[in-house]
Structures are given as C-alpha cells and as structure tokens.
Amino acid sequence: MKVKLAPGEQVLTRTRATPRSLVWPSIGALVVLTAGGYALGWLSRAAVPPELQQWQPLLVTVAAVGGALLLLRMFLRPLLRWLAGRYILTSHRLIHRRGMTKRSLYEVPLAAVHQVGVTQSLVQRPFGSGTLTLDLGFGRSVSYRDVPCADVFRDHVAEAIGQLPQSALFNGRAMMGQPGPDQWPDQGQSAHPEARQEGPGGAWRGAV
C-alpha cells in the first residue's frame, strides 16, 4: 500500500522499528535449527534401530518439513512483519504502515498533536530507541514502539508541527474535537505530570 501524498505534502523521514522484536524469534530459530540438524543427522545414519529402518525415509521427511514449518512460523513471519512496518513522517502526518500480505495504514494529522514525547525502558536506552507518544488532548494519545533514534525522530516531528500555520493547527484540532487556541493551556501547564511544556505542538521528554 503506497502512501498517497496531498498536494504540497512531502515525506520528511521514514524508518522501521528497531529489530528488538526479532530477538526471541532468532533464538527460537537457532534452537529449531540445532534440534532439527541433530534429528536429521541421527535419522539419516546407517545404524538406526531396526524398528525404525522401515520408517527412516518418512521420519527424515517429517523432521525436515516440521523444522521448516517451525522456522516459518517462529522466525520468517516476524521478520516479514518487521520488514513491512514503517514509521513515515510527512509535512502533514505521521503514518504507521503495518502488515505484509494485508497492509494497513494508521495516520495522525500533525495539526491534531499537542505534544510529542519519548520514553525509554532500560532495554531501549542503550540502543537509543524509545516509545514515541503523541498527545492528542482530552486524555487521548497514540504510541509508537521501538522508534530508532527516538530523540532525533521526536525533534523531527516537533519541528514539522512547528512549521504548520496556526490556521492548520486550529482546523486539525477542531476536526479531532480538541480545543482551539483560546482554550490551549498556559505555558506553565502540561498534559503529562513529568512533562516539560514547550507550547502547542511542542516536545516533551518524560522521565526515563
């Protein structure tokens, strides 16, 4: 599914989620390959027990096919799912594309975003990845997990929001049922208890 751009809209950056989700599938694939190789080697030897000799070709086939199916389910499917995912930032929207055989697009207009935040777990912190959160007001938010270079990506989003005209911000938030400029919180207020307010569309960095 190709992203269709509106007139004047430009793609600013695109990236995939970090491959952290492939860690356990990779470990599982190594286990399957090790066990499958051992089983095939044991079944293919000449000195198999007499009661298994007549079933030897069938057992070898079952072991090979079973190992291939396990690899397909445990590793190939998550790999294809990860390869198909995209975070796409345009001058108007932030788009999350998912799915390989059945693709879907989830998008948030930048004009509807009040704040952009990043949180990092202990696992994400060494890799510079994090969870990007868009505050849409009225307690609503959208999160994107395992965004690489999360701080840089957050800055790109905040900069793109800052480039929008005030009329676009008002119209976008009105369409989302959000308050207009006369109802925006004061500069000292924040929609997140540990956030630092930088104005409508600004960025905040949660405690990590």
Q: What are phi and psi of 137, to 5 degrees?
A: 85, 165
What does pTM read for this prediction? 0.69
Higher pLDDT, 56 or 148: 148
Per-residue pLDDT averaged across 182-195, rounded? 37
Residue 36's nearest CA partner among 68, 75, 4, 79 is 68
Q: Provide the pLDDT confidence category of residue 158 given band limits of 50, 70 and 90.
A: very high
Tell me the pLDDT tens digit for each residue of 20-77.
889 999 999 999 999 988 888 888 777 777 777 778 788 888 889 998 999 998 899 8
Rg, C-alpha atoms of the chain: 25
Per-residue pLDDT averaged across 124-149, rounded? 90
Is a pLDDT exceeding 70 seen at residue 14?
yes
144 Cβ partners below 8 Å, 6+ apart?
17, 87, 94, 96, 131, 132, 133, 134
Q: Provide the pLDDT confidence category of residue 171 given band limits of 50, 70 and 90.
A: low
How many C-beta atoms surround the C-beta of residue 125 within 10 A? 12
Judged on CB neighbours under 10 Å (0-12, 13-18, 19+), 149 is: middle
Is a pLDDT exceeding 60 seen at residue 138?
yes
Is a pLDDT exceeding 70 seen at residue 104?
yes
d(CA 174, CA 109): 12
What letter would DSSP give residue 18?
P
Is a pLDDT exceeding 60 seen at residue 191?
no
| DSSP-assigned states of every residue in 44-110 | HSS---HHHHTTHHHHHHHHHHHHHHHHIIIIIHHHHHHHH-EEEEESSEEEEEE-SSS-EEEEEEG
Q: Provide the pLDDT confidence category of residue 185 given band limits of 50, 70 and 90.
A: very low
CB distance 34 to 17 below 8 Å: no
- Which of the given ranges, 36-50, 96-110, 159-173, has the highest pLDDT on average? 96-110
